[in-house]
Structure formats: structure tokens, C-alpha cells
Amino acid sequence: MFKKILIANRGEIACRVIATARKMGIATVAVYSEADKEARHVRLADEAVLLGPAPSRESYLVADKIIEAAKKTGAEAIHPGYGFLSENEAFADRCEKEGIAFIGPKAHSIAAMGDKIASKKLANEAQVNTIPGYNDPIPSAEQAVEIAKGIGYPVMIKASAGGGGKGLRVAFNDKEALEGFTACQNEARNSFGDDRIFIEKFVEQPRHIEIQILGDSHGNVLYLNERECSIQRRHQKVIEEAPSPFISDATRKAMGEQAVALAKAVKYQSAGTVEFVVGKDQDFYFLEMNTRLQVEHPVTECITGLDLVEQMIRVAAGEKLAFTQADVKRDGWAIECRINAEDPFRNFLPSTGRLVRFTPPVETMWQADTAHKQGVRVDTGVFEGGEIPMFYDSMIAKLIVHGKDRNDAIAKMREALNGFVIRGINSNIPFQAALLAHPDFVSGAFNTGFIAQHYANGFRAEDVPHSDADFLVALAAFVRRKSRERATGISGQLPGYGVKVGSDYTVISLAADGQHRYTPVHVDEFVGETGYASVQVGEKRYKISSPSRLNDIVITGEVNGQAFVAQMERGSAKNPLALVVQHNGTKLETMVVSPRMAELHQLMPFKAPPDMSKFVLSPMPGLLVDVAVQPGQKVQAGERVAVIEAMKMENVLFAAADGVVGKVLASKGESLVVDQPIVEFEQ
């Protein structure tokens, strides 16, 4: 077994590998860029080596620097994690030639599966189901149209080297096929330097289901059940679960056996994933193979009890798999939510900056520990007070739960999301909460078009209807009454001027447009020692008990005998007197006041926010890479104005209306903050 390994990655996956290495008694070497010098993976590793500047092309993607770091520190093996160099055949080959073990498959396996056209031909030869299509590179858009007509619409136009949603279009007619071919070719050339395009049949109502496989250097290959990854936004996975609520045991076995046949055909060693697209009748077709550890590997670890990182290390060290296919378990149900640094209410734009608060829910399962089950696990590469840099992807944590069945896992996940505190940046937690509550998700009746279908116009606060909005009002009143009770005990109050508690309140639910809601609330039977009160809201009565303290953000307790987890904070950016309640993805900003104060509040004039329509504002923190207009230039609605780069993605800003540019307020290369004006139009 290795004595020391280097992790050629960053963030949560680097921390994940360190956890298993530590369990196995293996020393670890972290590598980092200048932007990551204070990162969590650097702190956790036994040693750390600086690679270079923040951009990954100058640090994490420079093979020479990583090999040099391994030699300098005496690391015998390199784990590439996922992304960066994990599926780079030249890097795997280079490691081997330098006498450093690559903790992953051999270079020939990566090469065979990395090319979508070549991998499809190999799959055909291994008698794996493949989608009907044209598997050779197509030279022109006109030929693409003829081929598409021959296969029959709808068709999927894909770049051979594509990935992450780039170089991918669905065409339903000749016009879309012609335009889609050209767009895919341009994207693929610019993103991957490879403009080969192929076409295949588009499977309607498709589900994305993948089989986890594991092979060793002795010719053994097993499948470790499947993962359901159909909940995707723009081809990026959002929620993953294992097993799938859709496929039968017979389909699972058939998919698993075909995945093993494909892996054996390329002499696969290490952990890998064979992705399938599954139609509404459980007909399944090979999509591609990921020759690395997947982001969503924890859900497989939960149901099988296997540490996949440990298995990868053991295989790389030449060990034989210590179990057979018959030993592979399927125990309970696991769900993973990707917690991303993005603003779901601003079309999921990246959100970077300092994590002012980062308190995940209480963990009862841990990385590299497969003995503890039926609980909550958090895989992360960040910590409270740390920075979320703009140079890398937006995922800051993975929240994983394991339950006895699917409904139990969903309930655990909703509770865990309620208790996940992130402040200083925006996260997609409200969106995850909405997805988990959606009846189609709960019933399992979804496919890869789920998000596009239900959130076609983006995600808004109204898309998270609370099952009982009056509970949020009652909880705000409960906390206010608790704080008033405490205030009565403060010493030194003047006789006749002491704090009076009272039982009648009005909860003002504050709205951005000034259309506030005023709800009379009566709080009685308050018992301070046990943190209990009975709260009347209209016809509803809420018996709330909570041991949480007033300064706790996360409040736990029971309401009418049912356990709950919510978040409560004093003060907001606009109102220091507010009580902000968050529960099940819904956020309510309230003021809890006396009935007389509520009457006076209703008389207050509403101050409308300033009109910013003449400005183009930066919707996120990022780097201004281009300003496409100049003062005096006439611009039409929809015309490109500026380009901002954040988290490996370019975001183009367009003019909302026709106008003439008055001033350009920011310059190319400048780092922008949220809502910073870039361009001002003449009135």
C-alpha cells in the first residue's frame, strides 16, 4: 500500500480523498493555486504545494507542475478527483511513465471512453444497447439535415468531445437541425478544440440513469447498482439518488451486466460510471462512460456500505477486489443535493464572496465511514469565514441523506436543508427545497425535462408555496414573545416603565412592493422554562415548544406534536427591526408589534426603490472581460453590452431596451460586485 499520495484537485473532492487516505494511514499532499492558499483542503493535508496563479489553466491543469510536486514530496500515487485532469489520458500515461501510480483507470481505457464516437462503436461491439444514430463525424450542415431525416425527428446533435452541456442541441425539424449543427460545431471548436459532430435519436421522456462499476487489475469487474440523475438544469445534475424510483429489478440487472461487459471490453480498472438514457418504457441506451469518480458517488456509498475512494486506492495499489457481485448490497435510499454558490432568484447567476456564516446541519454520517447509516452527511471544501473564489465551479457542498426508504430520505433531506445556514453569498437551497416538495418529484414521476417544464420562466419566490404559511407567522410571534419575556427580567428598570409582555400582537409580513400583510396573533399559555407557547392565528392554533436560544439562527422544536427545523434571524439588510423566518424554502420577513403600532405602520408612506432602468448592472460578482459599447452608440434591445466571467462561465449582458449609451462606468479587466453599474444610458 502507498505511504503517501498527492491529490491533484481542490475543494470538496480533495477533502473527500484526504478523509479516506487518513483512515487508511496514508499521508497526503495537497496542491493549490494562489486563490486557494487558505482553502480547507490545504489545511487538512499533511503537506501542500503551491502550483501557480488562480486560473486553473495556470495551476490545476498544468501537468508538469503536479508531477514535479509529487516527485518533490515523495508521493507514490496521484488521485485526480473529478474534473481538471481526471479524464486526461496523456496525464494518466505521463504518471505511469514517471513511475507514479495514477489512482484511476489506465490511459487506454480513458482514451477509449473519452471519445463519444469511438466509445459508441466499442459499446456496439460489446453488445451494449446504443441509440440509433450516425456515429461518424458529419462534414456539413446539409448532410446533417439528411441524416437527421433518415433517423427520424427528434434527433440530438452532439459534439464528440462535448461535456457540461456544451456542443449539444435537440432538433425537431430540418431548420433546427441546420442551425443546431452549426452552433454545436462552433461551441465544440471553441471549448474543446475538436469540432467533430454526430447525430443520434432523441429519446422522449428520457431519464438519466447511471451504473457505478468497479474493476481491478485482475480482470474482475462488478456493478454497484444505479443512480438516478434525471433532475438536471441545463444538463447539470442538481439532485441525485440511489436507487432509482423508476427501473425494475430486471432492468437494473440488464443495465448492470451491459455496463460490466463494456468495462471488460476496455480492460477497465478503478471506479467508473456508465451512463444510460432510459425511455418511458424502460428501454435503455448507452450514453457515455465517465472514467473517474463521480460527484454523486456518496449515494452509492450509502446504499452499498462501500468506500469508493478506498476501493480506487486499493485497485491502484494492485489489490484484488475483496467481494463479489453477490456481496453488493442495496440498503435503504440515499439522496444528494448539490449546494451551489448561485442565486436561484437571479436565474442562477454565480454568487462569490466571503462565507460570513457557514453552519451545515448536524452530521451523523461521515466521509470514509460506511458503518454509520440512516443519517446526514456533508461533503464540503469550504469553512465559515472563507472565500468562494470566482475562478472555479460553483459547488460549495454536497448534502447527502440516507433513509430507510425514499419518503424517509426526502423528509430527512428537507429537514437538513432547513438547518443549513449559509450567509454572505447566495445559495440554491430554496430551489432544492422547492424541488423536494414538488408532487412530481415526490411521486417519482419525472424525467430530464422536469426543471425545464416546471420552471420554464426561471425560479421565483412564488414557486415555493409553503404548505402552511400561518406557521411562519406563529413562529415569528413565538420568538418575539420569548424575547419580551426575557426583557422583563432585565434589572434596573424604572418603576412604572418596565417592559410589559402582553398576549396580543400583529405580525406584519413585509413585502418589497409595500403591499404588507397584517395578521392579528394571540399568544397564551407561555411557559418560559420549557420554551412552550400556544399561538392563535385566525382559526388555527399552534402549540409550539422549542429549547433553542434567542440568538440561535437554527430553531428546532415541535409544533402540534410534529418536529420542525427552521431559521430565524433578527434584522435584515433593509430593516433592523425585522424577524426573518425561513422554512421549507420559504423566506418571510416580518415585524411583530403591538396592535396599536401596526395601525400606525399602515399609515406610513411606501418608499419605492430608485429607478435603475437606465443602467446595465452587474448581476453577480465577477471579472468584466468585455464591454461591447461606447458612449454615444445607439443600442437596440437584445444587443450585447458586456461579458462577465465568473466560476468558469461567461455571462453575456444584453440591453433591455433601445437607447443611446451615455457613459461606460466600468472598464475591461475590472472586478465587479453585485449591482455595480457598468453602462448608463441617456434618458
CA 152, CA 174: separation in Å to the nearest integer?
11
Given this model, what pLDDT does residue 136 score?
82
Q: Does 140 map to a domain?
A: yes
Q: Are residues 57 and 97 in the same domain?
A: yes
Residue count (the chain): 683
Q: Environment class of residue 154 by beta-carbon count within 10 Å: exposed (0-12), middle (13-18) or buried (19+)?
A: middle
| Domain span at 673 | 615-681
Residue 646: band (very low, low, confident or very high) from pLDDT cuts 50, 70, 90: confident
Q: Environment class of residue 177 by beta-carbon count within 10 Å: exposed (0-12), middle (13-18) or buried (19+)?
A: buried
Q: DSSP label at 398?
A: E
Residue in the structure block whose three cell numbers are 426603490: 609
Q: Are residues 215 and 363 in the same domain?
A: yes
Provide mean pLDDT across the span 313-323: 98
Q: What is the CATH number of the domain that holds 18?
A: 3.40.50.20
Residue at 237: amino acid letter: K
Is there a contact between 29 and 49 (Cβ–Cβ < 8 Å)? yes
Q: Are residues 50 and 184 in the same domain?
A: no
Q: Which of 143, 175, 201 is the last residue of a domain?
A: 201
Q: Are residues 325 and 235 in the same domain?
A: yes
Is the pLDDT at 247 greater than 70? The verdict is yes
Given this model, what pLDDT does residue 611 score?
81
556: β partners: 565
Q: Does 113 map to a domain?
A: no
CA 8, CA 402: separation in Å to the nearest integer?
29
The model's pLDDT over 432-475, given as tens digits with 9 standing for 90+, comes to 999 999 999 999 999 999 999 999 888 988 777 788 999 999 99
Given this model, what pLDDT does residue 415 score?
97
| Grid cell digits, residue 118 | 469511438
| Grid cell digits, residue 585 | 424554502
Q: What is the largest CA-CA distance in the chain?
A: 91
CA 45, CA 7: separation in Å to the nearest integer?
9
Is the pLDDT at 529 greater than 80? The verdict is no
Q: Are residues 345 and 442 in the same domain?
A: yes
Q: What is the mean pLDDT of the chain?
A: 92
Q: Are residues 293 and 377 in the same domain?
A: yes
Q: Are residues 391 and 372 in the same domain?
A: yes
Is there a contact between 103 and 5 (Cβ–Cβ < 8 Å)? yes
288 catalytic residue (yes or no)? yes
Residue 131: band (very low, low, confident or very high) from pLDDT cuts 50, 70, 90: confident
Give the H/E segment covering residue 650. strand 649-654
Q: Does 578 map to a domain?
A: yes
Given this model, what pLDDT does residue 132 score?
81
Q: What is the CATH number of the domain that holds 623?
A: 2.40.50.100
Q: What is the CATH number of the domain that holds 175?
A: 3.30.1490.20
Beta-sheet pairing, 4-7 with 77-79: parallel
User: Which residue among 288, 301, 336, 589 is the active-site one?
Assistant: 288
Q: Are residues 636 and 515 in the same domain?
A: no
Q: Which of 460, 453, 470, 554 is nearest to 512 (CA)?
A: 460
Residue at 49: amino acid letter: V
CA 308, CA 261: separation in Å to the nearest integer?
20
Beta-sheet pairing, 562-570 with 554-559: antiparallel
Is there a contact between 375 and 337 (Cβ–Cβ < 8 Å)? no
Provide mean pLDDT across the span 328-336: 97
The model's pLDDT over 586-638, given as tens digits with 9 standing for 90+, comes to 999 999 999 999 999 999 998 888 888 889 999 888 889 999 999 999 998 88
Q: What percent of the chain has pLDDT over 90?
A: 72
User: Alpha carbon of 20 to those of 23, 103, 290, 314, 576: distances in Å?
Assistant: 5, 13, 22, 11, 45
Residue at 223: amino acid letter: Y
The model's pLDDT over 173-206, given as tens digits with 9 standing for 90+, comes to 999 999 999 888 888 887 777 888 989 888 888 9
Given this model, what pLDDT does residue 580 score?
95
Is there a contact between 66 and 92 (Cβ–Cβ < 8 Å)? no
| Grid cell digits, residue 627 | 464591454
Residue 120: band (very low, low, confident or very high) from pLDDT cuts 50, 70, 90: confident
Provide mean pLDDT across the span 645-656: 80
Q: Does 144 map to a domain?
A: yes
Q: DSSP label at 369?
A: B
CA 246, CA 75: separation in Å to the nearest integer?
44
Residue in the structure block whose three cell numbers are 400582537: 505
Q: Which of 52, 84, 103 is the last residue of a domain?
A: 103
CA 441, CA 406: separation in Å to the nearest integer?
11
Give the H/E segment covering residue 255. helix 249-265
Given this model, what pLDDT does residue 165 score?
65
Residue 648: band (very low, low, confident or very high) from pLDDT cuts 50, 70, 90: low
Q: Does 86 map to a domain?
A: yes
Given this model, what pLDDT does residue 163 score?
65
The model's pLDDT over 374-392, given as tens digits with 9 standing for 90+, comes to 999 999 999 999 988 888 8
Q: Does 389 map to a domain?
A: yes
Q: 458 vs 328, which has greater pLDDT?
A: 328
Q: What is the CATH number of the domain that holds 239?
A: 3.30.470.20
Given this model, what pLDDT does residue 164 score?
60
Looking at the structure of the chain, the number of domains it has is: 5
Is the pLDDT at 683 greater than 80? The verdict is no
Q: Are residues 481 and 520 in the same domain?
A: yes
pTM: 0.86
Given this model, what pLDDT does residue 501 score?
85
CA 94, CA 142: separation in Å to the nearest integer?
41
| Grid cell digits, residue 68 | 514535479
Q: How many CB atoms lie within 10 A of CB 25?
A: 9
Q: Which of 201, 229, 248 is the last residue of a domain?
A: 201
CA 375, CA 96: separation in Å to the nearest integer?
40
User: Alpha carbon of 96 to those of 31, 282, 345, 655: distances in Å?
Assistant: 19, 41, 47, 52
Q: Are residues 258 and 340 in the same domain?
A: yes
Q: Are residues 444 and 307 in the same domain?
A: yes
Residue 357: band (very low, low, confident or very high) from pLDDT cuts 50, 70, 90: very high
Q: Are residues 334 and 431 in the same domain?
A: yes
User: What is 284-303 written as a DSSP string?
Assistant: EEEEEEE-S--TTHHHHHHH
Q: Does 638 map to a domain?
A: yes
Provide mean pLDDT across the span 254-267: 97
Q: 346 vs 305, which has greater pLDDT?
A: 305
